[in-house]
Chain A
Amino acid sequence: MIQLIRQRTLASFLSLVGLIVLVFFLSRLTGDPTNLFLPIDATQEMKDQFRALHGYDDPILEQFGRYVWDVLHLDFGDSVRRARPAIGVVLEAFTWTLRLALITMTLVTISAIIVGSLAAFRAGGFFDRFASLLSLIGASAPDFWIAIVAIVIFAVTLGWVPTSGTGSVWHWILPVGVLFIRPFGLIVQVVRGSMITALSSAYVKTARAKGVKNTPIIFVHTLRNAMLPVITVMGDQAAALLNGAVIVETIFGFPGVGKLMIDSILQRDFNVVLAAIMVTAIAIFIMNLLIDMAYAALDPRIRY
C-alpha cells in the first residue's frame, strides 16, 4: 500500500511538472496582461511601470525560473486582478467546487446504484426499459442547454428557486440538479451492465441454491462484485466535476474553481490560473489514489 502511494506520488509529481511548464508558457502565448489591466488611455510610462512591477519585462525563461522557485516555496504569487495571494483565491473557489462535487456525486452514486441494480434484476422489464431510456437521455443531453431551460422553467417562470449565485440551500438546487443528470445517466448504464453480468455469475446460482433472499443477492452478493467498473467511471465523472464544471458554474454564477479559471484566463491573471491548475491536479491525484484503495477494499484479490 505504501509502495503504491510512493509510486503514484512520483508519477504524479512528474506530470505536475510537465503541466506547470506547459501552462506557464501557453498562458504567456496569449499575450501581455498589461493592456487588459490598465485603462485604455494609460501612458507608456504607466505601462512600463506595471510591467516592471509584475516582472513581465524580464526574459521569459527568467520569469519561469522565478515562478518555479517561488512554487517550490509554496508561493504561487499574487492575483493581479484581486491583489491577494493567488492560492487563497483558488482555495476559496475550490471549496465551493468541492462541496458542489461532493453533494452531486453522493446523490448520483446512491441513486444510480439503486436504479441500475433494480433495472438489472428484471432486465428487459418495464422498469428496466424506463430506466434505460431515462439514463440514455441523461447521458446524452447537453448540460448548458438543460441549465438554461431549467432556469427558464424553475427560476423565471415558476419562481421556485433563484437563478444564480449562492447564499441559501435554494441556490444549490439548480446547479446540483443540472450537474447530476449526465453522470447519473452514465453510471446507471454502467451499473446495469455490470450487474447483469454479475447476476448471471455462478456464485449467484450458489446463493440461490443456499436459499438466500433476493435483496441480499442483489445488494450484498452481486453489487460488491459489480462495483469495480462502476468506480472507474465514477472517478472519471468526479474528476470532471472537480476540474470545475466550467459551463454550469458560469451559467449559474457559481463561485467555483471552473468559473474562476475561465475568468482568470480571460483576464490573463496568470498566477491564479497556474495555482488553480495545481490545486485541481493535486485533488484529482488524491481522488485516484482513493479509487485504487477502494478497489483493494472491495476485492480481496487486489493487493498492492
Chain B
Amino acid sequence: MADHLLEVRDLSVRFHTAAGAVDAVKNVSWHLDKGETLAILGESGSGKSVSASAIMNLIDIPPGEIVSGSILFEDRDLLAISAEEHRKLNGKRISMIFQDPLSHLNPVYRVGWQIMETMTAHGRSRDEARKRARELVARVGIPDPDAALEKYPHQFSGGQRQRLMIAMALALKPDILIADEPTTALDVTVQAEVLALLKELQAETGMGLLLITHDLGVVAEIADRVVVMNAGEIVEEGTAHEVYHNPQHAYTRKLIAAAPGKGDMRSGGSERPVLLEARNVSKTYGDFTALENASFKLHAGQTIAVVGESGSGKSTLARTILQLEAPTGGEAFWKGRNLFDMPSKELFGLRRQMQMVFQDPTQSLNPRMSVFELISEAWAIHRDLLPKPRWKERVEELLVQVGLRPEHAKRYPHQFSGGQRQRIAIARALALEPELIVCDEAVSALDVSIQAQVIALLGRLRDELGIAFLFIAHDLPVVRDFADDVIVMQRGHIVESGTAEQIFNRPREAYTQALLAAGLDPDPDVQAERRRQRLQAAV
C-alpha cells in the first residue's frame, strides 16, 4: 500500500538534443497527499515541469529518456504502464492545466465540445457530458453558461479561458490536478481570482493540487508545501512558511532576495528640464478607443513607470508618442518641439535620441545577425554618429557596459540566455546614445533573479549616463524600487499618477488600491493575513 496519493521516486530524465544529452531532472523525489497543495518552485530550465510531464506521459521518447525512477499512483508505477493505460488515467484520475490557455485550447472547436470531450473520451454519453459541461461552466463563474458552451476560445478573455481550462480538467473529478504556471499569463487581479477558484474547488473535491510555478507570491498564496528546484535537482523542501522564513539552501535565499518590491523607493527627478511631454494624446482604432486624453511630463534623467493590466493602453501610449502609431488626437513635445506635426526627416533625426527595448529579446533580435552586426546596424543608419573604423571598439565597450564580454560580439543571439539577450537589446539601444529609453515589458519574460540583475543594470545606466526611462510594466513590485513617478492606466485612461512613494503607500483611486491588493506578497504569512482579511470583509 502506498503511503501517499502520488509519489515520485528517484526520477531522472534526460533529453538527447543536437548539442548532446541534457539531464533535465536528476534523482528527484517528492510526494503529494490527498487534499494537499504542493508547489514545485523553480526558474526556467530548472526542470520543474519535467516530473509533471512524466506523470502525464507527455514526454516524447525520443528525444526524451527516462533514465531511472518510478512514479507511484495507487500501487501502480506510472512509468511502467502502457500508453493506453496512461490515456485512461489522463483527464479522469489525473488532470492538467497549462500556462497559456489560449494556445492550449483548440482554436477551431467550440469550448462546450472541448469540455465534453474530456468526458466522452472516457466513455460518458454525450447527453450526460453536455449536462455536466453546463454545470461546470457555471461553477467556474462564466456568465451565461448556455451561450458560453457554443462559443470559441478566442471569444473569451484570458481569465475566462483559464476558468474554462479548469472546468475541462475537473470534469471527471480527478484525484490530482496538475497546474503548470496557471496564472503566469494573467493580470494580477485575474490571477487572484483564478487562484481563489482553484482553492475553492480543491476544498470541494478533496483533490491533490500540484502547482508548478516560478512565482514566490503564488506559492505564498496557495501552497501547503514547496519543493525548490534548481538545475534539475531539488535543493530544498518544506512547508511554505519554513522555506520562506528559514531557507536552508543558498539558491533559495538568493531567490527570495531577488523578489522585487522590498528596497527603498526613489523620489524626485522633476527638477531637471522637461524632455518629453504628452498633452491629451488619444488613439482610436475604428470604434475602439485604445487611449484617451493621456497627459504627462517626463524630465531628463527621470524614470516614469506606466503600469496597467493588459489592454489598458500602456504600450499604445508609448508607441503613439514615439510615432510608431499615428495619433488620433493631442500633442506630444520633445524638448518643446511638437512631434506630431514634424516633417519626417526631422523626426528621423530625433529617433536616435529615443530608443526602445522590447519584451521578448528572442523575437526582437534578428537570429541571423551577429551581436556586432546587431549593435552596429544603428550606426549604418545614422551615419554621422560614428566612423566605421571605431565600430568594433565601441561595440566591445557597450558589451562591457551591459555586463557582457567583448568577445561576445562574434556570437549569435541563440548562443545566449534570455537575460543575456535582453542585455544585448539594451546595448543596441545604447549604441545611439539616446536620452530616452522606452522599455516595453522589458523584464517581464525574465526569471526573477535575472529580472533583478537587468533592473540593476538599467538603474546603473540611468545614474551613470543620465538616461530617462519610460518603463512599461504590468508587474507593480518591479517598478516600485526603480521608478521615480508612476502612471496607472486602465481601459485607455490614466487613472492616477504620482511619485512611486505616493502610489505605493498612499494610493487615492480605488483601481490602484485594487491593483496593489491583488499583488501577491512572497511571504506566506502576509498572504495568509490578507486572505483572512478578505474573508472577514466578505462576511
* CB interface residues, B 486-518, toward A, < 8 Å: none
Residues of B in contact with A, size category: 20 to 34
* CB interface residues, B 351-391, toward A, < 8 Å: none
With CB as the reference atom, state the residue of chain A lying closest to B115: A210
State how many angstroms separate the Cβ of B407 from the closest Cβ of chain A: 35
Interface string of A187-224 (1 = CB under 8 A from B): 00000000000000111011111111100100001001
A271 to B89 Cα, complex, angstroms:
70
Given contacts A202-B98, A210-B90, A211-B92, contact A301 B107 (CB under 8 A): yes
- Indicate if A36 sits at the interface (CB-CB under 8 A): no
Give the chain A neighbours of B168 by CB distance below 8 A.
Answer: 206, 210
Give the chain A neighbours of B95 by CB distance below 8 A.
Answer: 209-210
* CB interface residues, B 109-132, toward A, < 8 Å: 109, 117-118, 121-122
Contact B108 A212 (CB under 8 A): no
Contact B57 A205 (CB under 8 A): no
Give the chain B neighbours of A205 by CB distance below 8 A.
Answer: 58, 98, 104
Given contacts A202-B98, A202-B100, A301-B154, contact A209 B58 (CB under 8 A): yes
State how many angstroms separate the Cβ of B176 from the closest Cβ of chain A: 12
Give the chain B neighbours of A206 by CB distance below 8 A.
Answer: 96, 98, 104-106, 165, 168
Contact B107 A211 (CB under 8 A): no
A235 to B92 Cα, complex, angstroms:
42
- Indicate if B414 sits at the interface (CB-CB under 8 A): no
State how many angstroms separate the Cβ of A61 from the closest Cβ of chain B: 47
Give the chain A neighbours of B117 by CB distance below 8 A.
Answer: 207, 210, 212
State how many angstroms separate the Cβ of B18 from the closest Cβ of chain A: 14
- Indicate if B344 sits at the interface (CB-CB under 8 A): no
- Indicate if A225 sits at the interface (CB-CB under 8 A): yes
Interface string of B77-93 (1 = CB under 8 A from A): 00000000001111110
CB contact between A211 and one of B90, B98, B105, B106 (< 8 Å): that residue = B90
CB contact between A208 and one of B57, B92, B105, B154 (< 8 Å): that residue = B57
Give the chain A neighbours of B108 by CB distance below 8 A.
Answer: 224-225, 298-301
Interface string of A257-280 (1 = CB under 8 A from B): 000000000000000000000000
A209 to B152 Cα, complex, angstroms:
20
Contact B91 A300 (CB under 8 A): no
With CB as the reference atom, state the residue of chain B lying closest to A222: B106
Interface string of B136-166 (1 = CB under 8 A from A): 0000000000000000101000000000010
Contact A211 B103 (CB under 8 A): no
Give the chain A neighbours of B165 by CB distance below 8 A.
Answer: 206
Contact B121 A210 (CB under 8 A): yes
A221 to B109 Cα, complex, angstroms:
8
Contact B106 A213 (CB under 8 A): no
Contact A202 B103 (CB under 8 A): yes
A102 to B18 Cα, complex, angstroms:
45
* CB interface residues, B 164-178, toward A, < 8 Å: 165, 168-169
A62 to B90 Cα, complex, angstroms:
77
Contact A299 B107 (CB under 8 A): yes
Give the chain B neighbours of A216 by CB distance below 8 A.
Answer: 121
Give the chain B neighbours of A298 by CB distance below 8 A.
Answer: 108
A202 to B154 Cα, complex, angstroms:
15
Contact B104 A211 (CB under 8 A): no
Contact A202 B104 (CB under 8 A): yes
Give the chain A neighbours of B100 by CB distance below 8 A.
Answer: 202
With CB as the reference atom, state the residue of chain B lying closest to A300: B152
Interface string of A26-70 (1 = CB under 8 A from B): 000000000000000000000000000000000000000000000
Contact A211 B91 (CB under 8 A): yes
With CB as the reference atom, state the residue of chain B lying closest to A297: B108
With CB as the reference atom, state the residue of chain B lying closest to A212: B121
Enumerate 14 A-B pairs (CB-CB under 8 Å) in ascending A order.
A202-B98, A202-B100, A202-B103, A203-B106, A207-B106, A208-B57, A208-B58, A209-B58, A211-B121, A211-B122, A212-B121, A225-B106, A299-B107, A300-B107
Identify the 4 closest CB pairs spanning chains A and B, nearest first: A211-B91, A210-B91, A211-B90, A202-B103
A residues near B (Cβ < 8 Å) are 201-203, 205-213, 216, 221, 224-225, 298-301
B residues near A (Cβ < 8 Å) are 56-58, 87-92, 95-96, 98, 100, 103-109, 117-118, 121-122, 152, 154, 165, 168-169
Since A211-B118, A213-B87, A221-B106 are in contact, a sample of 15 more A-B pairs with Cβ atoms closer than 8 Å, ordered by chain A residue number, is: A202-B104, A203-B105, A206-B96, A206-B106, A209-B58, A210-B91, A210-B168, A211-B88, A213-B121, A216-B121, A221-B109, A224-B108, A225-B108, A299-B108, A301-B152
